[in-house]
């Protein structure tokens, strides 16, 4: 790997600012990396090299990442110059007549966007295996395993060194799952920290948000600072932060009360590698002076997931209905899980939907009370190491069982969606690698609005146990 590939976005921007590298040079290196690894990983799609080169020629904004190559998730982040499949044959080559506010804020940092990264249809699922891309997206650490979802293409692209960071989004763990599976840092901010307009006021009853997958905490902090704040007409906004994300990581947090959960939130055992990652991180936190106490958060976690499943089924069905514009759905336009989500949504009345939203809100109040007893809740990000490709395929017709049934998504990923439901900030930090060389993330969550404390702790862990030197086998080829 060349030296530029191994640097984070902050360092690359500094090289450009001093003239030691150029935006054109870094763009070409990123495109060369796509050529080198995309045949194996299938993570980058809809490349727009001409747009990227034109943006450089016209002059890039003088932001903190001026000239650094960047990728958008192929779901959301609507932009005139970047068509999207949205993970679905039904929405293949969608073009937009407007730029979303989140895209405008990302562009203002000076990044050179040149394409999109793969996502599962509808953003549903912990894997990225959408039929529209002609095959599954694979994990750079082991191509037989998934990089996660729904921001799986972003995770694979960053882990493989194509770009130093990428846009993602998270409605049930969709940033944090790929971060864990790919050995990256992923942060889900407090609900409504970032804009959803102009296309929407909220996603999935407020559970979904944009965010970023990065190799360093500081890159994530800088990009979140650039994108934070409600857009005009937003239905609600996150509480103001006492300091910016970047200011928060400039110094360690106060010594904190850490609640340690090395099981699922319902008390069930998790994979030994995941439990070991949690316990090792707890020991490290104690060595840094934090107080760690065992804790299992008390709330109706399975009830929350059932409510989440009803809300997301309705959102999936509504999105497909809008795309169809009144015509019937044809065979092959959506995958089995999406088709079964439509069928499931038809059984849910308006009252049922509002009741599910009420359950999510009640769950949020229970989780808020957990942080009366601790400042940070520590767990594994996943209950297992990265799943084998095909295990959570969308070519099945049992949406509800897919999510909450035996062996389903909730058993594999029982932690992340809790904080989409509660709206609280949460992060996956790459603190452990298994004996097989697979990344295992640990999950940290904080009270609603307390993003600053959370990211400061993440930065302290990064300094105490760095991970940037670790690269997957695909990068050695």
| pLDDT tens per residue across span 303-328 | 999 999 999 999 999 999 999 999 99
pLDDT above 70 as % of the chain: 99
Unique residue bearing structure tokens 């990009």: 223
What does the block give as tokens for 193?
Answer: 């920290």
pLDDT value at 477 more than 80: no
Q: Which of 73, 180, 340, 413 is catalytic?
A: 73
CA-based nearest residue to 454, from 220, 234, 140, 268: 220
- pLDDT confidence of residue 5: 75
Stretch 142-167: mean pLDDT: 98
Stretch 259-279: mean pLDDT: 98
- Distance of alpha carbon 139 from alpha carbon 441, whole angstroms: 15
Span 443-464, pLDDT tens digits? 999 999 999 999 999 999 999 9
Identify the bridge partners of residue 211 per DSSP, sorted by sequence position: 168
The domain segmentation of the chain, as residue ranges, is: 9-476
Stretch 165-184: mean pLDDT: 98
Q: How far is CA 405 from the centre of its chain?
A: 23
Stretch 422-451: mean pLDDT: 98
Q: Which of 84, 88, 100, 150 is catalytic?
A: 150
Mean pLDDT estimate for the chain: 97
Span 31-68, pLDDT tens digits? 999 999 999 999 999 999 999 999 999 999 999 999 99
> Under CATH, which architecture does the 9-476 domain have?
Alpha-Beta Complex (3.90)
Sequence-separated (6 or more) residues with CB below 8 Å from residue 284: 431, 461, 464, 465
Q: Which of 3-12, 20-29, 91-100, 464-473 has the lowest mean pLDDT?
A: 3-12
Confidence class for position 4, pLDDT limits 50, 70, 90: confident
Q: What is the pTM of this model?
A: 0.98
For residue 411, the SS3 value is: helix
pLDDT above 90 as % of the chain: 98
Stretch 204-210: mean pLDDT: 98
Query: Is 174 noted as a catalytic residue in this protein?
Result: yes
- pLDDT confidence of residue 3: 61
- Distance of alpha carbon 8 from alpha carbon 259, whole angstroms: 31
Stretch 78-103: mean pLDDT: 98
Q: Which of 84, 88, 169, 174 is catalytic?
A: 174
The helices-and-strands tally (H runs, E runs) of the chain is: 16, 11
- Distance of alpha carbon 139 from alpha carbon 150, whole angstroms: 13
Query: Is 340 noted as a catalytic residue in this protein?
Result: no
- pLDDT confidence of residue 476: 76
- pLDDT confidence of residue 1: 53
Residue 296 burial (CB count, 10 A) = 17
- pLDDT confidence of residue 2: 57
């Amino acid at each position: 790997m060349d030296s530029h590939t191994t640097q984070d976005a902050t360092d690359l921007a500094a090289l450009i600012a001093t003239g030691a590298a150029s935006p054109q040079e870094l763009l070409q290196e990123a495109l060369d990396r796509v050529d080198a690894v995309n045949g194996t990983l299938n993570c980058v799609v809809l490349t727009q090299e001409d747009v990227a080169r034109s943006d450089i020629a016209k002059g890039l904004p003088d932001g903190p990442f001026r000239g650094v190559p960047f990728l958008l998730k192929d779901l959301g982040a609507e932009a005139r110059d970047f068509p999207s499949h949205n993970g679905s044959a039904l929405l293949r080559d969608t073009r937009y007549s407007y730029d979303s506010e989140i895209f405008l804020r990302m562009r203002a940092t000076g990044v050179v966007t040149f394409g999109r990264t793969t996502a599962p249809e509808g953003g549903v699922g912990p894997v990225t295996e959408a039929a529209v891309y002609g095959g599954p997206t694979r994990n750079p650490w082991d191509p037989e395993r998934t990089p996660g979802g729904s921001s799986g293409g972003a995770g694979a692209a960053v882990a493989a060194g194509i770009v130093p960071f990428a846009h993602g989004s998270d409605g049930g763990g969709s940033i944090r799952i790929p971060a864990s599976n790919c050995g990256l840092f992923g942060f889900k901010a407090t609900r409504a920290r970032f804009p959803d307009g102009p296309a929407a006021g909220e996603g999935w009853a407020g559970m979904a948000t944009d965010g970023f997958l990065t190799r360093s905490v500081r890159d994530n902090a800088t990009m979140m600072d650039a994108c934070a704040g409600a857009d005009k007409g937003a239905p609600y906004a996150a509480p103001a932060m006492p300091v910016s994300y970047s200011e928060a990581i400039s110094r360690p947090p106060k010594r904190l009360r850490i609640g340690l959960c090395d099981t699922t939130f319902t008390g069930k055992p998790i994979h030994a590698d995941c439990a070991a990652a949690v316990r090792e991180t707890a020991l490290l936190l104690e060595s840094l002076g934090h107080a760690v106490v065992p804790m299992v958060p008390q709330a109706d976690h399975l009830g929350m997931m059932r409510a989440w499943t009803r809300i997301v089924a309705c959102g999936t069905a509504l999105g497909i209905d809008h795309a169809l514009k009144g015509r019937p759905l044809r065979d092959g336009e959506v995958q089995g899980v999406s088709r079964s989500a439509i069928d499931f949504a038809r059984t849910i009345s308006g009252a049922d939907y509002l009741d599910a939203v009420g359950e999510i809100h009640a769950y949020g109040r229970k989780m808020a009370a957990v942080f009366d007893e601790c400042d940070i809740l520590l767990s594994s990000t996943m209950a297992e190491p990265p799943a084998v490709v095909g295990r959570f395929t969308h070519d099945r017709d049992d949406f509800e069982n897919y999510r909450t049934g035996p062996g389903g998504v909730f058993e594999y990923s029982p932690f992340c969606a809790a904080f989409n439901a509660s709206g609280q900030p949460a992060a996956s930090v790459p603190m452990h690698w298994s004996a097989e060389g697979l990344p295992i993330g640990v999950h940290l969550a904080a009270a609603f609005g307390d993003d600053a404390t959370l990211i400061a702790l993440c930065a302290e862990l990064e300094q105490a146990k760095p991970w940037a030197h670790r690269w997957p086998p695909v990068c050695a080829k």
